[in-house]
Amino acid sequence: MLKANGLFLRTSAVERCDILLRMKYIISSVLYLVILLCLSVFVFDPAHLYYEIPWLDVPMHIMGGFGVVSLVLSIASYNGKKLSLRTALVAFFIVAIGWELYELGHDFVDQREWGGWSDTFSDIINGTLGASVAYYFLKK
């Protein structure tokens, strides 16, 4: 396999399949997060299910935290590195804060009432639960 600056210049079909197989956990984690995002943005939110079923937010944040740490661990594993719980949680918190800012902006644009700090903190706590479970089940 020829490499230049870390990029593959020419690879055979077998080599491309090998790369994809080694990336299967990254690909599956990304797919999992995309499915969660699509459910939230294109199904639950337009149908106002977060208001009709208030507890729906809890499993979504738990599963989101699980998905984020799953992706972080799979990228680290692909690169031959092991991450501590602290590093995995820092990565999760960066994504969680970004998501909570998205929720705040979404509520502002749609002129909806903001859920408040208690909602934000419970979302982050639920996500942290999912992130911690992912770390302990998926760390290698």
Residue 26 contacts residue 68 (beta carbons within 8 Å): no
Band of pLDDT at residue 24, cut at 50, 70 and 90: very high
User: Within a 13 Å sphere around the CA of 140, how many CA atoms are in the beta-carbon half?
Assistant: 13
Domain ranges of the chain: 23-138
Between residues 74 and 21, the one the model is more confident about? 74
pLDDT digits (tens, 9 = 90+) for 48-91: 898 899 899 999 999 999 999 999 999 999 999 999 999 999 99
pLDDT digits (tens, 9 = 90+) for 86-136: 999 999 999 999 999 988 887 788 777 777 788 889 999 999 999 999 999
